[in-house]
Amino acid sequence: MTYIDSKVWEGQTLRGGWTNIVEPATGNVIGRVGVADAQDVAAAAKAAAVAQRDWAAASFEERAAVLRRAGALIEQHAAELQAWMVRETGSVGGMAGFGTYVASQECYEAAALASRPVGEILPTAQPRLSLLKRVPVGVVGVISPFNAPLILSSRSVAPALALGNAVLLKPDQRTAVSGGFLLAQIFADAGLPEGLLHVLPGGPPAGEALVTDPLIRVISFTGSTATGRLVAEMAGRHLKRVHLELGGNSALVVLDDAPLDAAVSAGAWASFLHQGQICMTAGRHIVHESIADSYVSALSAHASGLPVGDPATAEVAVGPLIDEKQREKVHGLVTSTVEAGARLAAGGTYDRLFYKPTVLDDVTTEMPAYAQEVFGPVAPVVRFSTLDEAAALAADSGYGLSLGILTRDVAKGLELAERIPTGIVHINDQTVNDEAVAPFGGVRDSGTGVRFGGGANLDAFTEQRWITVRGDIPPYPF
């Protein structure tokens, strides 16, 4: 199967018409996909509910085998899948390679879920057997974003399928191929029975239909905090469980004893990888005042030296932003921060969608590029003098996704981390990390806690049923 040249997505007949897939680096149309409307969602939900019954009744060996084959196919066709991600998302090669690696691992880890114990024996005061049994929720709705589409779709799709559910997947229309149709083709080739995975790119009407359809009982949403709030409100009105993995404005705290060269390299990676379009990107560099000048100078040199360009045609470190709207948002935050008194130490300019890695110094906490999630290759730097001040600065955010602390004193780093509410902490590493085996999720405006990875998937995609068994019917007083 040649995935990069496949036109399988063009054969998808949906009622909402068609939309073009535009290559961010060139502006060229490289494909088109069908657009789903509310009727498409309703029809897919009905078909999925029917197919799910047999899938839930299938043996765990059968479900696990499909997931293992899907992981192997992703590995086998990694180069082709990566080539598509580079063109559709603007990802550089290394990030695309990470995408296929994590997606394959998500499938392998999900395969292991299929054989996990499905329940437990509970204590009871009655002469009976009392059991807890996990059962599939039925049909799961997955809404995934543009920035890491293969990872962020497979992270929900794979465990939901492994645990006996059917899935309706709504990828971002801009990355509907690598976020949806390629994954569907992988699972079809892996032997997933028909009707269990539906790919429905679409706008707000399709999203609303997905959240409100009565046959869809769980919503797994990855995206912006603003949209996540709307999804949660809508799901709440329909008494649906919703798992939210939202935005971030993660802090990288650099203590005075951190080795400067290593700290700067970690800081550059954390802010400039994938053009800063990662929820875990370091959006706030909180640096001890004694080393801050040297840190800013070295980080600016890194930023100025990173090659920027089309990742499909050259070896570059930074590719294009996803579209003009995102570029304007990034540039608006940078320029308004400079106008507020920050110093532009590097970058701050762009050519088409190629935004140069940017370093902002003399930043204060109320400035836009520090206070808001930029989602672009921008590193604002704030100074601190004491650990109390560092803790206060890092904790002073509505977000709580990832945290990096760089120091030679690991115990001091762990102690500092205890004072900063986040779902993820990395001592002596930067903020952008992901493993299929690890719990993943944020707190506060970054989401509803750990909803992905390991045992969290069991809670996300199954229901718990209480069952009791007696040998005889007991007598009752009436």
- Would you state the structure tokens that stand for residue 26, as one six-digit string? 């060139």
CA pseudo-torsion sign 254, 260, 263, 265: positive
Kind and range of the H or E run holding 131: strand 129-136
Q: How far apart, in whole angstroms, are the C-alpha atoms of residue 427 and residue 431?
A: 9
For residue 378, give every residue at least 6 positions away whose Cβ sits within 8 Å of its Cβ, in sequence order, or none.
271, 276, 283, 330, 333, 334, 347, 358, 359, 360, 369
Residue 173: Cβ within 10 Å count: 20
Query: What's the pLDDT score for residue 9?
Result: 53
- Nearest by Cα to 365 from 255, 267, 284, 297: 284
Per annotation, catalytic residue among 88, 109, 245, 373: 245
Two domains, one topology: 8-246+447-466 and 250-427? no
CA pseudo-torsion sign 85, 453, 61, 50: negative
Query: What's the pLDDT score for residue 2?
Result: 45
* 429 touches 250 (CB < 8 A): no
Amino acid in position 202? G
For residue 382, give every residue at least 6 positions away whose Cβ sits within 8 Å of its Cβ, in sequence order, or none.
284, 285, 286, 287, 363, 364, 365, 370, 393
**DSSP of 17-84:** -EEEEE-TTT--EEEEEE---HHHHHHHHHHHHHHHHHHHHS-HHHHHHHHHHHHHHHHHTHHHHHHH
Q: How far apart, in whole angstroms, are the C-alpha atoms of residue 314 and residue 7?
A: 26
Q: Is 107 a catalytic residue?
A: no
Residue 467: Cβ within 10 Å count: 11
Main-chain dihedrals φ then ψ at residue 46, nearest 5 degrees: -65, -45
What CATH number belongs to 8-246+447-466? 3.40.605.10
Query: What's the pLDDT score for residue 454?
Result: 79
Pick the CATH number of 250-427 from 3.40.309.10, 3.40.50.510, 2.40.50.100, 3.10.450.30: 3.40.309.10
Averaged pLDDT, groups of 10, the chain, 478 residues long: 48 82 96 93 97 98 98 97 97 97 98 95 97 98 97 98 98 96 96 97 95 97 97 96 96 98 98 98 98 98 98 97 98 98 98 98 98 98 98 97 98 98 98 93 92 87 97 96
Per annotation, catalytic residue among 10, 279, 328, 389: 279
Main-chain dihedrals φ then ψ at residue 174, nearest 5 degrees: -70, -20
Q: How far apart, in whole angstroms, are the C-alpha atoms of residue 436 and residue 102?
A: 7
Distances (CA, A) of 84 to 3, 19, 20, 60, 204: 8, 17, 15, 32, 25
Query: What's the pLDDT score for residue 4?
Result: 46
* 374 touches 358 (CB < 8 A): no
- Give me the residue spans of the domains in the chain: 8-246+447-466, 250-427
Q: How far apart, in whole angstroms, are the C-alpha atoms of residue 372 and residue 266?
A: 21
